[in-house]
Amino acid sequence: MSNKISKHALHATLVASALASVFAMPANASSHKEAPFISSMPNVDGTDLYMFRSYEAGRQDYVTMMANYVPFQDPQGGPNFYPFDQKGLYEIHIDNNGDGKEDITFQFRFKNTSKATTLKIGDKDVLIPLINSGPITDVNAATLNRRDTYTIDMIKGDRRTGTKTSLTNVAGGAAEFDKPVANIGDKSFGSATGYETYANKHIYEVAIPGCGNGKVFVGQRKEPFYIAVGKIFDLFNLNPLGAEVDGNKNDLENKNVNSIAMEVPIACLTTAADPVIGAYTTASVRQGRLINPSPATGLGNATKEGGAWTQVSRLGMPLVNEVVIGVEDKDKFNASKPSGDAQFINYVTNPVLPALVETLFPSAKAPTNFPRTDLVTVFLKGIEGLNQPKNVVPSEMLRLNTSIAPVTDPAAQSPLGVAGGDNAGFPNGRRPGDDVVDLSLRVAMGALCALTGDTDKLKVGCKPSDAPAGGLALTDGVRRDATTFKATFPYFNTPLSGSFNQ
């Protein structure tokens, strides 16, 4: 795979040098309990999507995709902890021709099986109430009382009617994979470092039909999302106009999350015509659900479910459903596909958030250019010369130009991505250390307009006079960078222990 950026170089360099002067603060984003309906279904609630050229040594010809689910996990969440929903369908979709429709889908299905472990109490064998009955050191240990497994299918074409094949374990050829249990606590795993040794045994090399081999890890991780979420949703109860660096608390610092992580060869995802791919993740459940008034002994018997798969969660670019889509349409957005995003266009071309910011902070004047074509560029099309597909149909998803080489040294990655002169970062995909809250806020307030000059050199349809606050250093005061995370797959850190003392 070539690392040349050819015709992308001029525009990307222009964008990087221009943005660097404005986006000099932290960011972060995504969707934690972002819509009314999904808030009641945390096990299928997608929180974040990441996609980037792998920067682990020797893996630069791969794309890493990570979809996170089940928000706000307290480490001490026993006795059941946080399994994926075995009656749900989790998917990562790839659009490799810019038409807003999935061309490749990776589907994950889960199965949670009780081992019905008992203890002899008097003269009776009684089922124990805990998830484990002793220390856990290996995959599917005898002391683990519930076995969580999953399968992975790849679909070419439409997600429901396309051609389906199964991914298999290179070691042995099995099509079913074990998922590690959550980090119950240090005693259960022998030491503070015992859990990661155990979890690493669940990193699998997988055979991807017609594409060669890749890697997969599915399991609990420390929450990588960072944001002053409490203050932001309390009418921006912070100083977004001040130079706050680590001036506010990361409200998710002591939380965990479930992650679906894949590393796939670039050649498997792209076409010869265009190196740019788009991605989004969804979760679906069966359309019909009946509560079983007399569930039988065992797992998964509390409901009876059937009917067509019905999408209830959707996530591509960060923050869209949380702070762009109106409350009454949030559930509708979660059920929609990118190809139908024209129905939400008014939320992008005439956004509410900038007006709310101006109301709360009068010196931060909202942009006056309507329709907001600059936001259409960022959220629905990708930036021309950086990560815009050749024949793009406006649709919301995370986009990555796979021809741009990764920055392999985490210390050299800019948390500001393209804005910091690092074209391998956000909004060209998203890496663990990329900041997106501040960046997204500044873009909403017209940062791209402020950078265009009178000639609109970034081709976003606006000029500096349209965005009086476009150059302001808006921030939530929370900062991290790539060195905060692991430098190897699956990149996210070890989840916090259930016996972690907060």
The pLDDT tens digits for 54-72 are: 999 999 999 999 999 999 9
Residue 496: inside a domain: no
pTM above 0.85, yes or no: yes
By residue range, what is the domain housing residue 162?
A: 8-484
CA distances from 29 to 26, 122, 267, 464 (A): 11, 54, 29, 26
At residue 94, what is the residue type? I
Contact (Cβ atoms closer than 8 angstroms) between residue 222 and residue 270: no
Query: Can you give 203-259 as a three-state secondary structure string?
Result: CEEEEECCCEEEEEEEEEEECCCCCCHHHHCCCCCCCCCCCCCCCCCCCCCCCEEEE
Q: What is the pLDDT of residue 49?
A: 97
Domain assignment present for 3: no
pLDDT value for 172: 96
- Quick check: is 2 in a domain? no
10 Å CB burial of residue 8 (0-12, 13-18, 19+) is: buried
Written as six digits, the tokens of 150 are 């999953």
Please tell me the predicted confidence (pLDDT) of residue 315: 96
Which pLDDT value is given to residue 323? Answer: 80
Q: What pLDDT is stored for residue 23 in this prediction?
A: 33
| Whole-number Å distance between alpha carbons of 480 and 225 | 10
Amino acid code (one letter) for 128:
I
What pLDDT shows up at residue 452?
Answer: 79
Looking at residue 418, its pLDDT comes to: 82
User: Alpha-carbon distance 22 to 469, whole Å?
Assistant: 11
Residue 473 confidence (pLDDT): 79
Domain count, the chain: 1
pLDDT at site 44: 96
CA distances from 318 to 26, 363, 405, 422, 440 (A): 14, 26, 23, 19, 8
pLDDT value for 340: 96
Query: Residue 183 carries which DSSP code?
Result: -
Say if CB 260 and CB 108 are below 8 A apart.
yes
Peptide bond into 415 cis (omega under 30): no
Q: What is the chain's percent helix, strand, coil content, to nearest 5?
A: 20, 25, 55
Structure tokens at 234: 């309390």
pLDDT at 242: 67
What pLDDT does residue 27 have? 32
Report pLDDT for 480: 84
Instruction: Report the pLDDT value the prediction gives residue 21, as an integer from 0 to 100.
Output: 33
Please write the tens of the pLDDT for every residue from 378-397: 899 999 889 999 999 999 99
pLDDT of residue 445: 92
Q: What's the pLDDT score for residue 86? A: 96
CB pairs under 8 A, 24+ apart, for 136-145? Answer: 136/181, 136/184, 136/188, 136/189, 136/198, 137/189, 137/190, 137/194, 137/198, 138/198, 138/201, 139/178, 139/180, 139/201, 139/202, 140/178, 144/115, 144/181, 145/114, 145/115, 145/117
Is residue 403 included in any domain, yes or no?
A: yes
Do the domain assignments include residue 498? no
In a domain, 490, yes or no: no
Low-confidence ranges of the chain (pLDDT < 70): 1-31, 242-246, 457, 501-502
* Residue at 495 is within a domain: no
**Residue 498: per-residue pLDDT:** 94
DSSP class of residue 326?
A: -
- The predicted pLDDT at position 459 comes to 79
Q: Is residue 168 part of a domain?
A: yes
Report the interhelical angle of 353-360 vs 437-444 (nearest 10°): 90
